[in-house]
């Protein structure tokens, strides 16, 4: 029996895991949908409209920002968040690719 050597890029694997984890949380998805509707919005509007605690909102925003899902800009004392659609599309394409491979393997 021939052994197969698996080569994984651990840095890419860790990033991918963090990206998917960031997208897999229901509160973060709710925040992303809210930002998407407004294109760019400040953190105060996010937590007050979604009825979330400010600290919890900031933690979720940081997680999404750290993996590149969100971009932020500062205008005076306000930080505005917008979605990095390129990163969302990369994650979406990866999930579709995986799903299609699994579907093909089952046939």
Is 5 contained in some domain?
no
Torsion from C-alpha of 36, 71, 52, 90, nearest 10 degrees: 60
Q: What is the CATH classification number for the domain harbouring 85?
A: 1.10.10.10
Q: Is residue 86 part of a domain?
A: yes
Q: Over the stretch 48-107, which tens digit does the pLDDT of each residue have?
A: 999 999 999 999 999 999 999 999 999 898 899 999 999 999 888 888 887 777 667 665
- 18 within domain boundaries: yes
> The domain containing residue 24 runs over which residues?
11-106
pTM above 0.85, yes or no: no
Domain presence at residue 4:
no
Domain annotation covers residue 3? no
Residue 84 forms part of a structural domain: yes
Residue range 15-63, pLDDT digits in tens = 888 999 999 999 999 999 999 999 999 999 999 999 999 999 999 999 9
Residue 106 neighbours by CB under 8 Å, 6+ apart: none
Looking at the domain assignment, is residue 29 inside a domain? yes
The count of domains in the chain is 1
Q: Return the SS3 of 70.
A: strand
Q: Is residue 2 part of a domain?
A: no
How far apart, in whole angstroms, are the C-alpha atoms of residue 42 and residue 15? 26
Would strands 78-83 and 41-42 be described as parallel, antiparallel, or unpaired? antiparallel
Question: In angstroms, what CA-CA distances link 76 with 39, 43, 46, 80, 97?
Answer: 19, 13, 17, 10, 42
């Amino acid at each position: 029996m021939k052994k197969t050597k698996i080569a994984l890029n651990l840095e890419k694997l860790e990033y991918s895991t963090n990206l998917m984890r960031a997208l897999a949380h229901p509160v973060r998805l709710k925040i992303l949908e809210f930002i998407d509707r407004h294109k760019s919005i400040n953190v105060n509007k996010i937590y007050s409209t979604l009825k979330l605690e400010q600290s919890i909102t900031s933690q979720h925003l940081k997680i999404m920002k750290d993996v590149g899902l969100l971009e932020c800009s500062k205008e005076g004392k306000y930080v505005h968040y917008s979605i990095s659609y390129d990163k969302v599309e990369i994650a979406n394409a990866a999930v579709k690719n995986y799903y299609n491979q699994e579907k093909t393997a089952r046939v």
